[in-house]
């Protein structure tokens, strides 16, 4: 396995050759110490930077936002899979996070790659009414704005997310909130993001993810939230047909496309895949 010391810049979950969510990727013989990883992530300024080092049969990985460590990040994992495929050839790469063993599959494609992650196990539970009211107040929504087919839930696919499904695309487009208030709410409840979604069809979703917990207003593409949403839809017996597409980042001018495959076994890993391209300085 080759190791590198530079921080690669990769746009994950691109829509063709456009858009994508930028992530930093640093691969070294050993992980830097925690303060150094935090400093590098803050200097990068991306929503997440992933650090990886050879470990047993794969790689030890940690994820940092500008404001702190996060347990799992889907788009940074896709970015890592792209770099590993470019550096080591196509393959499936085992990853050890702080809390789970997962994999990312990478296939190099010119100056980029196609990558697919297998999430940690998923879980979901109904969101408490008081929490729902607090979240609605944060965004200026009302209960009547919610899609009652997909009740508010707290879901996990490697990180914890609050999921609020909206009735219309216009309400999703209108997402606004105060960063400091959102950060306090998310950190108090342990949420990585608050995931706002709109079901255009049973298999096609639009999403926006507030990431104030990491010091970022909004993430253009959120693979961990996609896994959490998919696990929740499975628990809900939603007619997903085994797969959904998630369109994200359009309202930010950074279109992203996440492809999500949903197995039948409750709680089992979710496969989230997409394109990635290297960002050249």
High-pLDDT (> 90) share of the chain, %: 95
Give start-end residues of each CATH 3.10.310.10 domain in the chain: 7-118, 123-277
Question: Domain 123-277's class?
Answer: alpha beta
Inform me whether the pLDDT recorded for 2 exceeds 70: no
Task: In whole angstroms, give the CA distance from residue 37 to residue 74.
Answer: 18
Place of tokens 């997903």: 240
Q: Which stretches of 34-128 are DSSP H helices?
A: 34-44, 74-88
The alpha carbon dihedral of 59, 20, 90, 28 has a sign of negative
pLDDT, one tens digit per residue, over 62-89 is 999 999 999 999 999 999 999 999 999 9
- How many whole angstroms separate alpha carbon 155 and alpha carbon 91? 30
- If pLDDT is split at 50, 70 and 90, which confidence band does 17 have? confident
Q: How far apart are the first and last CA of the chain?
A: 25
Closest CA to 29 of 5, 61, 6: 5
Name the band, by pLDDT with cuts 50, 70 and 90, for residue 111.
Answer: confident
Asked whether the predicted pLDDT for residue 120 surpasses 70, the reply is yes
7-118 topology per CATH? Diaminopimelate Epimerase; Chain A, domain 1 (3.10.310)
């Amino acid at each position: 396995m080759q190791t590198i010391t530079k921080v690669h810049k990769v746009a994950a979950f691109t829509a063709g050759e456009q858009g994508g969510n930028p992530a930093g990727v640093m691969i070294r013989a050993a992980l830097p110490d925690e303060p150094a990883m935090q400093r590098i992530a803050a200097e990068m300024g991306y929503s997440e930077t992933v650090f990886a080092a050879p470990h047993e049969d794969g790689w030890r990985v940690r994820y940092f936002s500008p404001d702190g460590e996060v347990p799992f990040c889907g788009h940074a994992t896709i970015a890592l899979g792209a770099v590993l495929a470019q550096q080591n050839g196509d393959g499936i790469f085992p990853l050890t996070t702080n809390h789970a063993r997962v994999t990312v599959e990478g296939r190099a494609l010119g100056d980029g790659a196609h990558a697919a992650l297998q999430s940690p196990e998923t879980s979901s539970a109904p969101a408490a009414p008081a929490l729902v009211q607090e979240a609605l107040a944060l965004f200026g929504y009302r209960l009547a704005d919610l899609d009652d087919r997909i009740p508010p839930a707290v879901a996990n696919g490697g990180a914890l997310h609050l999921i609020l499904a909206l009735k219309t695309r216009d309400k999703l487009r209108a997402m606004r909130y105060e960063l400091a208030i959102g950060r306090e709410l998310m950190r108090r409840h342990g949420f990585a993001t608050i995931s706002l979604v709109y079901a255009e069809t049973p298999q096609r979703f639009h999403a926006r993810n507030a990431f104030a917990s990491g010091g970022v207003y909004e993430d253009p593409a959120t693979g961990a939230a996609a896994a959490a949403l998919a696990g929740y839809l499975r628990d809900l017996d939603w007619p997903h047909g085994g797969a959904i597409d998630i369109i994200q980042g359009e309202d930010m001018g950074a279109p992203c496309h996440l492809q999500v495959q949903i197995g039948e076994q409750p709680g089992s890993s979710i496969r989230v895949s997409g394109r990635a391209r290297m960002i050249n300085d």
